[in-house]
Amino acid sequence: MTWLITGGAGYIGAHVVRALDEAGESAVVLDDLSTGAEGRLPASATLVQGNTLDRPLLDEVFAGHAITGVIHTAAKKQVGESVSLPL
């Protein structure tokens, strides 16, 4: 199985990616690296830098990596930003 982990270079996402790696699963990470860090990822993970709103990129990732499951951990977590810019 090949998993797509959105926000996979973030704190929580990177833990998910490492757990999948330890379980012998393949992981493709989609992250815009606005708060994530590539250095959090195991060497076996494939990083695609981009945004979940980029439909052509998502189509390319799904087709190019034969994704069979998605774990969505991409989010903005700063309360101040969420209140001042809710959209």
Closest CA to 71 of 11, 20, 32: 20
- pLDDT tens-digit series, residues 2-36: 999 999 999 999 999 999 999 999 999 999 999 89
pTM exceeding the 0.85 threshold for the entire prediction: yes
Residue type at 55?
R
pLDDT > 90? residue 87: no
> Cα-atom radius of gyration of the chain, to the nearest Å?
13
Q: Which domains does the chain have, with CATH numbers?
A: 2-84 (3.40.50.720)
**pLDDT, position 77:** 72
Using alpha carbons, select from 76, 61, 65 the residue that is nearest to residue 26. 65
pLDDT for the residue 80? 77
